[in-house]
Each structure stands twice: as structure tokens, then as C-alpha cells.
Amino acid sequence: MPRRVTASSISPSGLPRFHLRWENASSSSSSSSSGGSPRWKKWPMRPNDSILVFGGTGGVGQLVTRKLLARGKEYVVRVAARDVDRARELLTTPIAFPLGGSSSSSSPTSSSTAPDVIRLDLVGDAKSTDDELRSAMEGVSAIVVSLGTTAFPTRRWYGGNTPVGIDSEAVGRIANIAMGVKTLRRIVLLTSVGVERTDQMPFVFLNLFGVLDAKRSGEDAVRSASRNSGSSYAIIRPGRLVGGPYTNLDLAKLFQIEGGTSNGVTMERGDALLGDCKRDAAAEAVVRCLEDDGCMDVEFSIVSNEERALTDEEWSEAFVGMRCISG
């Protein structure tokens, strides 16, 4: 049965607790969690861990980067960007609106440190080599993939930046190389609602140029890399993205659709929702997937609602219901 979660749908006793506590995990670090991999391979982030963000200059990726830097956990945040100078400037300039969320330990608008920025281009003639990708991933504990291009032909497709080039081939490449990163424990991929409903409206239309098929192929690669390496994965499928930063030429940008003042979310396992998702809410979900000890091998769709943001405990309980058990 699909499990739908909002703040008001969670009762403290409604779901079984699943907490891989740090001390428990370390006392059994040689035992297996799945497929013979040691349990530490699925541990959540801890202070000083390194996190690599692909797409850290994008709408959701910028917010993920800022939130991670503002967590007060001394994360080493590395952003892979095509234009290093632009990325540095973008990510060190304060943003014009307050970020939501429910548990940031310091203000997410004021990053205490800047991210490391490294140059990586994932498609086209200037494409980075596998060695460059491998070197960017060296020593990281987690990888966030929030890459994207437009669903329909635009100037952003120049140089091979099509949905197939980005959402399928580039994500596939990242996943394949990530499989060999021994320190990697978590990989979080942003895709979209509709990947499993391409025969239904409005997704038939959205998929006219294959963006949902390409995203599904990227999902397959991440799932398989995670299973082969023993690390944990999260596939987050947001609804139409609204709210700043506006990085896409779409109606949400044209009409500056903010998506409400609260940061409430509705989440459902698999691909079942339809609606708008604030970029801020999607970014918060990414951070929670990295930090929550129960967020292991989850796949869920997410949209915004007008309820309050989830508490720490509610996020944990929600993730239990989002786990993908099938093989």
C-alpha cells in the first residue's frame, strides 16, 4: 500500500520506528545490512563529512548547498559547476528570501563558510574525463545530484545538454563512478513526479521529448550503483517546482509562483502525487535524506502543502514509510 504522509497524518505511534543508532551501528560495523555490505555504508552524515553537490548552481541545488553550510555541522561541501567563478559568486551572495525548514541549527540564509567549487562539465566537447569525476568524488560521504535541463527544446540544449545527455547519460556516468568510491554512504537524486506515469496526463505531454524516460534511466543507474556498492540511495520526485531561486524559463518563473509561506510537504512512496513543490521544500527533503538515520533506500514523490513543516521526528517517521523494499 502506498504510504502518504503530511504533518497532520503522522501520529507518534502510527508507524514502526526504524532507528539505526550511531552507537549500535559502530558496535557491529563488520556485520551486514544487505548484500554483504558493512552497515556503516548506509550511515547518515556526521560532522565534518564531505558532500559533493552536482547542480549546486541550480534552483534546488543552491538551496541544498546553503542549507548544508548553515547546519552548523562543519560539513565540507563541494559543488561541481561548469563555471567556477559564477558558482562562487552565486553561492556566497545572500539570497533575498528566508529559507524554511524545521530544524536548521543556524540561519540558512547566512552561510558560515563557502563551498569548495570545482569545475566539471558533464556533457559536450568540454566534458570532464572520468578521472576528473573520480577525483571530485574522492573521499566524499555523500553525493547529491540535482542536475537538469529543460523538458522541451530551448537554448539550454546547446552542446548536448538535452534530457538524454543530462538526466540519463550524465547521471548514469556519475552513478557508475560513484560505485567505486569506498567512502560513499549516501546518494540522493532529484528527478520528477511522472517518471512511472508517462502514459498518463499531464505526463504524456511533459514527456514529449523524453525527459521523464531519461530521468527514469538515471534513477535506474543510481539504484543499481547503490545496490552494487552497498551505500544508501534516495530518489526524490518533486512536483512542479515553484518558489525561488527561479532558474527555469517556465510559468512558475513568469508569474513568480511562490507556493505558499509554510514549508509543509505531502510525501508518498513511489510516484503517486501531482502538484507544486517549493524548491525550498525539495531542498529540505534532500538535507533530511542525508542526515536522517532511517532514510535508507527510499523513493518518494513530494509536493508542498499549507501545513507546518515536519519536525525532526516526523521526517524520521515519514522516511520509514518511503522505503523501497522490492528488488
Ligand X SMILES: NC(=O)c1ccc[n+]([C@@H]2O[C@H](COP(=O)([O-])OP(=O)(O)OC[C@H]3O[C@@H](n4cnc5c(N)ncnc54)[C@H](OP(=O)(O)O)[C@@H]3O)[C@@H](O)[C@H]2O)c1
Residues found near ligand X in the complex (CB under 6 A)? 55, 57-61, 81-83, 120-123, 146-149, 161, 166, 190, 192, 238, 240-241, 247-248, 250
Q: Return the number of the residue (116 or 250) whose C-beta is nearest ligand X.
A: 250
Backbone angles phi, psi at 292, to 5 degrees: -85, 130
CB of 148 to ligand X, least distance (A): 3
Residue number, nearest CB to ligand X: 58
How many whole angstroms separate alpha carbon 145 and alpha carbon 60? 10
Q: How far is the CB of 169 from ligand X (least distance, A)?
A: 10
Q: How far apart are CA 83 and CA 148, in angstroms?
A: 16
Q: Give the count of alpha carbons within 13 A of 72, CB side only.
A: 6
Cα diameter, the chain:
55
Output 282 or 296, the one with its CB closest to ligand X. Answer: 282
Distance from C-alpha of 131 to C-alpha of 124, rounded to nearest angstrom:
16
Output the smallest distance, CB 150 to ligand X, in A: 8
Closer by beta carbon to ligand X, 82 or else 308: 82
Q: In the complex with ligand X, which residue's Cβ is closer, 125 or 199?
A: 125
Nearest to ligand X of 122, 281 (CB atom) = 122
DSSP state string for 93-151: SPPSS----S--SS-TTS-SSPPEEEE---SSTTPPPHHHHHHHHTT-SEEEE-----S
| Closer residue to ligand X (CB): 255 or 326 | 255
* Cell numbers 524554511: residue: 100
Which of 172/230 has CB closer to ligand X? 172
d(CA 216, CA 236): 12
Q: Are strands 142-145 and 50-54 parallel, antiparallel or unpaired?
A: parallel
Rounded to 5°, angle at Cα 292 from 288 and 293: 160
We find the least distance from the C-beta atom of residue 60 to ligand X, in angstroms, to be 4
Can the peptide bond before residue 202 be classed as cis, meaning omega within 30 degrees of 0? yes
User: What's the min distance (Å) between Cβ of 41 and ligand X?
Assistant: 25
Shortest spacing between CB 204 and ligand X, in angstroms: 16
Give the nearest distance from C-beta 302 to ligand X in angstroms: 10
